[in-house]
A and B are shown apart, each in its own frame.
Chain A
């Protein structure tokens, strides 16, 4: 009936500080989106989310900035992280971005604002508290679905 986890099998390990740095930039970009009400800002962020969701968070432009300029200046120890949680978070971000773009396309500004606001909240929680909202929701959904 019960299986012991096999999550010890090899998965891609990335520097955990990378996605967190990305979350800081994402927070600023999403706050800018709300402040300016400009759909093109969320389109750009949506492209970043798409790269993170499909290829992996270590391939986004934010990760490039982290690797080139931030990481060489960090003195702390390397903290490894499984790539799957931040990749899933990027997927959640992409869904919010698509909802916002959809809302804007159909002229429903409320959807645009709410979707960007949720994405901003999630990115901020990740940046400030190292809390992955998408990851928590994932298990919640799994539990709800199998009931």
Chain B
């Protein structure tokens, strides 16, 4: 297959990308961090397609994770942190789902989860760290013994053993690698050749992408091959790591996308309020997800005035002076 043919198939729609790569029961890693660069348009599409029983793996996650949990798409979760910063110190639907016993969950730390993705990306089965020693991350387990016997779930949460390279007493924590079925992420630019460029912080997106069997990238802009290759130091992923590419301007709203737009404080505050009430939250999903058939409709609903307020300054990469309370 020529490069060109492969590429043509990669450029696709939200609907096709989700249909092709995400199934009920898939292990999914989400790019971004709390209220930055969440692949929201993909999360909404997953909800609209009625995908269930997802096993989500992430470090610190916020909005996309919370919407997916709230819509009932998530069965299982390996996570370090569920929060939206000042806009929801603990994500509301995440908190409720755990308090009500609706999802299976396993706690790790940010460093541990990042290392697990790195191990997956490097093709090694496990990775050591000092982090976690003495904590209840080592002693308390969330997954049941039955879950631990399932295919694609590590047989143990972690293992503590003696550093084999010294005679001194030196305990270390071994963490199992993560190899998600799919990683979904939102980037600023993708080249016509499929090269991905993330601006600002990359969080653990690159490790998450390389660890996965398939990668879906939504982006603000698709740029020419000549442009993306004129400054390759800025690029994050070569084309062969990416399986589906969808141009979705404002595809991270209401979370932020460096250089393009800020997070939407009004929307995030509104979300936190409605998420507290089951009926109100259902209405929110009807209004913002099920009731909209395309991302264009979503943007029309957000409204041009809001989009202008959120627009990032080309100098700072964020919206200077944005009302953020």
Do A and B belong to a common assembly? no
